[in-house]
Amino acid sequence: MKIIYSEKEKLHRPEHEWSYGKLLPYAEKNTRAEIIKKGIIKDGMKNILMEANEYPLDYLKAVINPEMVDFVKSCEELEPKESVFPHVFPYRDFTPEFTEHPRINLKKAGYYCFDVGIEIDKDTFEAAKASTDVALTGAGLIINKQEKIVFSLCRPPGHHAGYSFFGGYCIFNNAAVAAHQLSMHYGPVAILDVDFHHGNGTQDIFYEQPNVLYVSLHGDPSQFYPFFSGFDDEKGEKLGRGTNINIPLPSGIGDYEYRENLKYAVKQIKKFHPQALVISIGFDTFEKDPIGEFKLTTAFYKEIALIAGEVGVPILAVLEGGYDIADLQKNGKSFIMGLKELE
């Protein structure tokens, strides 16, 4: 087993987010991945840590709109203190003649960003790219058959970022970039998304793809972010029909109800016969999380790993959300202990 990280992930550190009309401290703290990494060192498991390799941008551009990747990269040219919240968005029937590229025009950042929750600055790209490299390094170890279980400590997270959009603290979809490589070089892939929120970006990227199954358990989008997707009638389209499974769950559920639904998800994944499993692991399902509204316990994260392990294929776990900083290290450790048992 290996755990992958990159020091560069910390570079993106917005101060604020707009949340339902209020300016709040940014919940997606830049130390999130590092906190889990420090726990591993503290527990004497330094030997399983590995720093990420760097990959060419082509790996991102295989599943992400190259113009969006270039837009985020162009923000590196901003002044040190300059940052912006996207705040004007293309509306539903925006003119099809819209051709002006929003590159380096942050007034038009809303062309790609779908919410007001992310502050973009000159360091955003480097950190987001590093986060994707952390996922790709993990996928590489599985593809080269060096490891069967890998946990990529990605940050910023990725599952709300799609082909041509980003938002929800996510810039590039780390899990999707990695799953694409696995599906090209290893075999059919299933993505199990256990973050509190629906991974609208991951769903978008693979919605018409038959070789990647997306299965997500999340807070019911009729109540919770991202509101506009994650309903159970979204099943995939064209060649990807049947390869998208959403399991919206009510507010307040605990380990017992979650376990039943997770077992159902794993049963569906087995029927797909994947060769590899990507887990989008969010700890915002935790009982004390300030954003998520489930009531999972620390001990349950070990069970998540063990239940997912029943698929019986190599696992790449990719960090998504989880905002209770005080308990993130022990929740991460619980999950890692489950992964270790699968080796």
- What whole-number distance in Å separates Cα of residue 265 and Cα of residue 260? 9
Can you tell me which of 121, 193, 284, 289 binds ligand SP5, judged by CB under 6 A?
284
- Count CB atoms within 10 A of the CB of residue 21: 6
| Under 8 Å between Cβ of 39 and 137 | no
Single out the residue of 13, 16, 19, 45 in contact with ligand SP5 (rule: CB under 6 A). 19
Torsions phi, psi for 80 (to 5 deg) = -50, -40
* Parallel/antiparallel/unpaired status of strands 2-5 and 16-19: unpaired
CB-nearer residue toward ligand SP5: 142 or 278: 278
Q: How many Å apart are CA 251 and CA 227, to the nearest integer?
A: 14
Q: What does each C-alpha distance from 139 to 53, 145, 206 come to in angstroms?
A: 11, 10, 17
Q: Of 14, 102, 110, 117, which one interacts with ligand SP5 (CB under 6 A)? A: 117
- Collapse the DSSP code of 145 into the 3-class scheme (helix H, G, I; strand E, B; otherwise coil) and give the result: coil
Catalytic residues: 160
Residue 193 in contact with residue 217, Cβ under 8 Å?
Answer: yes
Shortest-Cβ-distance residue relative to ligand SP5: 321
How far apart are CB 115 and ligand SP5 at their closest, in Å? 7
Decide whether 14 or 321 has the Cβ nearer to Zn ion: 321
* 8 interacts with ligand SP5 by CB under 6 A: no
Burial class (CB in 10 A: 0-12, 13-18, 19+), 41: exposed
Q: How far is the CB of 241 from ligand SP5 (least distance, A)?
A: 27
| Both tokens assigned to 176 | 């999707």
Contact status: 282 vs Zn ion (CB under 5 A): yes
Under the binding rule (CB under 6 A), the answer on residue 195 touching ligand SP5 is yes
Which DSSP helix (H) or strand (E) runs through 144? Answer: none
CB of 22 to ligand SP5, least distance (A): 8
Residue 322 near Zn ion by CB under 5 A: no
Q: How far is the CB of 173 from ligand SP5 (least distance, A)?
A: 11
- Restricting to residues 189-248, which ones interact with Zn ion according to CB under 5 A? 195-197
Q: List interacting residues with ligand SP5 (CB under 6 A).
A: 19, 24, 27, 117, 157, 160, 168-170, 195, 197, 225, 282, 284, 290-291, 320-321
Q: List interacting residues with Zn ion (CB under 5 A).
A: 195-197, 282, 284, 321
